[in-house]
């Protein structure tokens, strides 16, 4: 079975209503804000150590799926949690609206092309889940089309796990009030204007529809082989600590080992 952490785990078979969950919950933190941020430095070092072994072994891979509504902190999570790891073994993929070429193929085609190779950690900033989230809420496909995709996704992820990829799915959960503050900050600070899109307000106007879509997607696809974690993400410092903790727990569960050295190295002398 795929190794799993326990923190914020959605047990398979659980019915989830994300709107009922506290996005500002920090009760699992090891201390207050400063203590938790300090603990994060040690977590960063440990995550980098584990990734080195994964990269050296070249026999397993890890796919991290980051989902969340606009401003939930996907980019910040990549920067603060994965920023210390060896970039040679890390790949970050951001999925935008599909191109005409991608739309001419099945919806998983562009996703499958970006999954991690042996030794890699790949982080998906958005993912195949957009095809049961945005597609659903924005009415881009009929219900009978997007609804059957839950089974497709579960089978796809099972195949990845069977072939040696550990799938870690993280939903960054923020409140509507916190999103309003983050959107306003993008308007108030000129150096953040590039982050603001009018389309973000269109999605915000469908807040309840997105909460329902997130809830059903997590309920239907938190499986034994690829469970979901719902991260309270109103507090960025807590989000970073929680994600790093989960990643370390999962990687430690993989029983990673450096490959055996070539024979005879003990007799080698460098003149």
Question: At 171, which helix (H) or strand (E)?
Answer: strand 165-173
- The closest of 203, 133, 220, 178 to 25, measured between CA atoms, is 178
In a domain, 195, yes or no: yes
Task: Using pLDDT thresholds of 50, 70 and 90, give the confidence band for residue 271.
Answer: confident
Whole-angstrom distance, CA of residue 207 vs CA of residue 225: 30
Tens digits of residue pLDDT in 38-68:
999 999 999 999 999 999 999 999 999 999 9
Q: In a 10 Å sphere around its CB, with 0-12 CB exposed, 13-18 middle and 19+ buried, how is residue 142 labelled?
A: exposed
Tens digits of residue pLDDT in 67-100:
999 999 999 999 999 999 999 999 999 999 899 9
In a domain, 263, yes or no: no
Tell me the CB-side half-sphere exposure of residue 54, using CA atoms within 13 A.
Answer: 33
In a domain, 156, yes or no: yes
In this structure, what CATH number is given to the domain that contains residue 89? 3.40.50.300
And the tokens for 208? 């309840």
- The closest of 69, 117, 72 to 93, measured between CA atoms, is 117
Whole-angstrom distance, CA of residue 135 vs CA of residue 140: 5
In a domain, 97, yes or no: yes
CB atoms within 10 A of CB 113: 10
In the beta sheet, which residues pair with residue 125? 66, 94
Number of separate domains in the chain = 1
Q: Tell me the pLDDT of the chain averaged across its residues.
A: 95
Whole-angstrom distance, CA of residue 13 vs CA of residue 134: 24
In a domain, 4, yes or no: no
Expressed as residue numbers, the domain containing 45 is 9-254
Longest CA–CA separation in the chain, Å: 71
The angle formed by the CA atoms of residues 117, 119 and 124, to the nearest 5 degrees, is 55
Looking at per-residue confidence, does 264 or 83 come out higher?
A: 83
In a domain, 3, yes or no: no
Does the pLDDT value for residue 247 go beyond 80? yes
Task: Using pLDDT thresholds of 50, 70 and 90, give the confidence band for residue 1.
Answer: low
In a domain, 145, yes or no: yes
In a domain, 1, yes or no: no
What pLDDT score was predicted for residue 26?
A: 98
pTM to 2 decimal places: 0.94
């Amino acid at each position: 079975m795929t190794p799993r952490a326990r923190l914020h785990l959605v047990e398979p078979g659980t019915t989830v209503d994300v709107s009922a969950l506290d996005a500002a919950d920090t009760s699992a933190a090891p201390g207050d804000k400063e203590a938790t941020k300090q603990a994060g430095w040690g977590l960063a070092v440990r995550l980098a150590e584990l990734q080195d072994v994964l990269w050296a072994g070249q026999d397993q891979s890890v796919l991290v799926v980051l989902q969340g509504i606009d401003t939930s902190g996907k980019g910040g999570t990549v920067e603060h949690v994965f920023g210390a790891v060896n970039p040679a073994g890390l790949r970050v993929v951001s999925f935008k609206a599909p191109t005409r070429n991608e739309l001419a193929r099945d919806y998983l085609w562009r996703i499958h092309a970006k999954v991690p190779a042996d030794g890699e950690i790949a982080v998906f900033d958005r993912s195949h889940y957009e095809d049961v989230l945005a597609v659903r809420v924005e009415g881009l496909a009929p219900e009978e089309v997007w609804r059957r995709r839950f089974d497709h996704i579960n089978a796809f992820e099972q195949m990845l796990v069977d072939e040696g990829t550990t799938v870690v799915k993280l939903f960054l959960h923020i409140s509507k009030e916190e999103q309003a503050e983050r959107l306003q900050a993008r308007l108030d600070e000129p150096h953040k204007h590039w982050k603001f899109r009018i389309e973000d307000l269109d999605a915000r106007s469908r807040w309840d529809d997105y909460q329902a879509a997130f809830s059903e997607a997590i309920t239907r696809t938190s499986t034994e082989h690829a469970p979901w974690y719902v991260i309270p993400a109103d507090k960025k410092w807590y989000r970073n600590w929680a994600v790093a903790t989960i990643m370390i727990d999962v990687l430690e569960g993989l029983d990673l080992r450096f490959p055996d050295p070539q024979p005879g190295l003990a007799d080698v002398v460098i003149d």
